[in-house]
Amino acid sequence: NRIVKSVDDAMWVLLYKGGLLARYNADNFSCKTIDFHALTNNYPSYIIADKMAGVWVGYQGGLAKLSNDGTLIKKIEFGVRNPIVILSITQADDYLWIATNAGLWTLNTKTYDLLQQPLPLKEYTAIYYDESENQVIVGGLDEITLVNPTDIRKSKRNTKIVATAVYVNDKEYFDSTMSVRCLNSLRLKHTQNHIVVEFSDLDYTLNNRPSYKYKLEGLDKDWTFLAPGVNRVSLSNIEPGEYTLIV
């Protein structure tokens, strides 16, 4: 499906089936097969040579860094509810630029910080770094976007999630002494066991569609993932007791 040349002059081949990669050394005409599926439990869908050493391999839901000899160095997951499909990757200095079916992402190849960038389209299908102009060119549906690599978001936002509304048995909850945003706890009767909580990170930028996950400590063992942009949790038929909602 794809052939790239790494900095040590080896040719890397992404094979069509079997979750395999092949590393071909032209100096001694040797070929090494690497079982990517055995390394990561995923099937490779994209490969790009790192400008320093090794290769990056994309798969549904994440990326993996392999050394020059095919050893797994790092595996990075997107960490969202629906598996992300990587459609194209380019590298600009220390960052990989990743076009996906869920927007544009960047990966710092030194710190492994993976961040979604605030661009308007939901899907980008092609990407290219024009080194002479220092521009990343991103292709989407009926659109080409030019991005200056120095203008990207480089760190995760340190935002606090706050409750914006609470409904108990289908009626909005009011506290005469304080806003619902300031509530740290809620004491209810055992019959008030249908609760809806709405929350926000208070980021009102146009492109903000965060993905949340939640867990009700005292009841849930696993996290529940919400679809992007959904900011409401409904809790029904809760038995009497003490619980902590973590979002």
pLDDT attached to residue 161 = 85
Residue 2: which residues within 8 A CB-CB, separation 6 or more? 13, 14, 46, 47
Q: What is the pLDDT of residue 206?
A: 46
Element (H, E) at 40: helix 36-40
b/e 101-133 (16+ beta carbons within 10 angstroms → b): ebbbbbbbbeeeebbbbeeebeebeebebeeee
Give me the average pLDDT of each 10-residue run along the chain (247 residues): 87 88 87 90 91 90 91 87 84 91 89 83 87 90 87 65 88 82 84 89 62 87 83 89 91
Instruction: Give the pLDDT of residue 157.
Output: 57
